[in-house]
Structure 1
Amino acid sequence: MNEQLYFNDQAHIAEKFLMIQDHLTDTSRMAVLKIRNWKLVEHLPETSQRYRKHMQQTLFNVVPNEFVLCEVGYHFSPINN
């Protein structure tokens, strides 16, 4: 019972691309809204401190390059650029 899940690999690749693109668009939109809200409350001292801490925890976290390359599988498969 070795059935294929997808009969057309191009359709699967296109669908996966669209799903990732939609997720990326939504995530980017959320980041822009967070930054806009931060700029709106920046002049209020008590709210600004709390929001700055929230922004540091959510948006401004640093990820090393090696982690990203490993997640993508750069070291395990040859890529022609």
Structure 2
Amino acid sequence: MALAEAGADLFEIGLPRHSPCLDDPRIQAAYRRALQDGHALDRTLRSVQHTASLRPTVVMTYWEPIAHYGSERGVRLFADAAG
């Protein structure tokens, strides 16, 4: 909420994946932490729902996580969350 109040125009949320080879080491470490408990998709969807209620929200991801859930279902999950 603080970022929205400070004037952020939009939010970008990344869906974690197991081998983010194109991301820098800090993002890779954050993805590893996010994937440790196995609830990354649920938490990401909740984050998208929350931030989308404050500002427009885009979801950045590699294809692998979306394909894991099936492309139509994966995309629908984030569309339903307003991402």
Relative CO higher for 1 or 2, CA cutoff 8 Å, sep ≥ 6? 2
Q: Please give the TM-score of this superposition, normalised by the length of structure 2.
A: 0.26
Q: Which protein is richer in helix relative to its size?
A: 1
Structure index of larger Rg: 1
Q: Which protein is richer in strand relative to its size?
A: 2
Q: Please give the TM-score of this superposition, normalised by the length of structure 1.
A: 0.26
